[in-house]
Amino acid sequence: MSDAASKAASQATAAAANAAKTIGRAARKPPIWFYALVVFITQLDSGSAGTLLSSVTKSFNLTTMGSSWFAGIYTLGLVVGTPIMANLSDTHGTKKVFLWELGFWFVGCLITAVAPLYPLALVGRFIQAIGDSGIMVLAMSELMMVARKNHQGRRVSFVGVVAGLSAMAGPVLAGMAIGMAKNWHVFYYGMLPVLVILFIIAWFVLDNQLAGGASKTDYAGLCSFSVALMTLMLAITLSQHFKQYWVVVVALLVVAVIAFLIFLYGERKIGKGTMPFLPISLFRNRSYVLVLLLAMVGGSLFSLFVYIPTYVHVIFHLPKAMAGMTMMGTGLGSMVGSYVGGIFVDKLGNKKALIVSSCINAVSMIAILLTSHSLPAFFVFSTLFGLGLGAFMSSPLQVIAGRLAAPDQRMQAIGGVSACKKIGMTIAPLVFASAMLVGSVNGNPTLTSFRAMFLVALIVAVVCIVLTLFIPFNKGNFDHDQ
């Protein structure tokens, strides 16, 4: 009996020591400076791709449609990779996934830099996107986990501020690389040593905590859902040239539907001890479904940024380089709005934060419509639009999704919001391009065309307000708003 008692006491002591170690790790604040650095480096691509595109087009002698895949394949990788990395972080731990992400990013940069052929460069871009897909979600989830409830908004918005700053720095760094070396490859070569340094730092400063008790990954769900999402996104992208690729579009949609049905069937049959790829229970929550829809609709407004330089060039006859500079106001507004959105969440609550930021978007679109013939007025109101959109997308939706989910589902819930935002950004160009056909002359946009586009953006902002009103904030889902 004494041996058994001694053994039991030893086991209890070991368990207590492990519990204390776990609590200590959980209580330790994550290295915010490291998350800021990683987000800044990996988000440089969002601003640099447009600057590098003309050089890439000349280097590979591409058509307009061919060159569009340089950015399009990256968006596809982000959409596919985000839910995958969010799930793997819960089953394998944040440290491992962070290291995997940085490894993918390094390999993708290397392939893109050395690629002698454009298809190989696209493979590199896709791998890069996989490496970028979970960085912001992981950072937001970690910061939200350790923040007090009335500080979660500001903690999460910090990631958005850094991402906005990176998006502004990207074109500058890419322009410097092209100007000094006359070669777009240099930008990606320069990223390689930085990523090695980040990998080494991550190895020492991150803890490998698991969010839940499940140790097995739902690989069947991961594969079937990824196939469904990838084929759907490819179909949406190619539908911009539907007459030319209609057979491929239809085939991709059929594959997407079949893969999604297989995914749903498999998730219902999943065994114990395996973490579902997507928590189906979340999708039974009306609030979460509406948040995903809101992320998709609101995310579509980001696609408006692509058309702003063209609008300024065509309507106000500024050189293309100068026209692109008008985005500085929108970028600054978005960066400030990211932090403002966090303050809205902490001070006003989820519902008011969403409504106020959506109203800013709607008011700025109305002002742009009324003053679309004035460049100074456009600069002011596009900056206001950036502020509203930054406040809307940077913090409220992620915080709401995180609060709706259980601790072991938070990463997946935030990842779903991020993926839906990117889906909206992929669908939106079809809508905006169709709107711009109004008033166009021989396929060339006019002031009427751009007003039609801004009108669609106003409608989207109003839809965001309506969707927010339908989310049942006062049904026990959101403690902060009660």
444 phi/psi in degrees, rounded to 5: -95, 130
**Tens-digit pLDDT profile for the chain (482 aa)?**
445 444 444 444 444 444 444 444 444 556 777 888 888 888 887 767 767 877 888 888 887 667 778 877 888 888 888 778 877 776 777 788 888 999 999 999 999 999 889 999 999 999 998 888 878 777 777 777 766 666 666 677 777 778 777 777 777 788 787 777 778 888 899 889 999 998 998 888 877 655 555 457 677 777 888 888 888 888 887 877 777 778 888 998 999 899 888 888 877 777 666 666 666 777 778 888 888 899 889 888 887 877 787 788 788 887 766 666 667 778 788 888 888 888 887 787 777 888 888 899 999 999 999 888 888 888 899 889 988 888 887 767 877 887 777 766 777 787 788 888 888 887 887 788 888 888 777 777 888 888 998 999 999 999 999 988 888 765 444 444 43
Q: What is the pLDDT, as a whole number, of residue 27? A: 42
- pTM, to two decimals: 0.75
Calpha distance 479→482 (Å, rounded): 5
Residue 396 near residue 350, CB atoms below 8 Å: yes
DSSP string, 250-305: HHHHHHHHHHHHHHHHHHHTPPTTEE-SS-HHHHT-HHHHHHHHHHHHHHGGGGHH
| Alpha-carbon span 263 to 328, nearest angstrom | 43
User: Angle of helix 410-435 relative to helix 396-404, nearest 10 degrees?
Assistant: 140
Distance CA 297, CA 392 (A): 11
Closest-CA residue to 78 (of 52, 49, 56): 49
Which contiguous run of DSSP H or E holds residue 216? strand 216-217
User: Are residues 83 and 224 in contact, defined by beta-carbon separation less than 8 angstroms?
Assistant: no
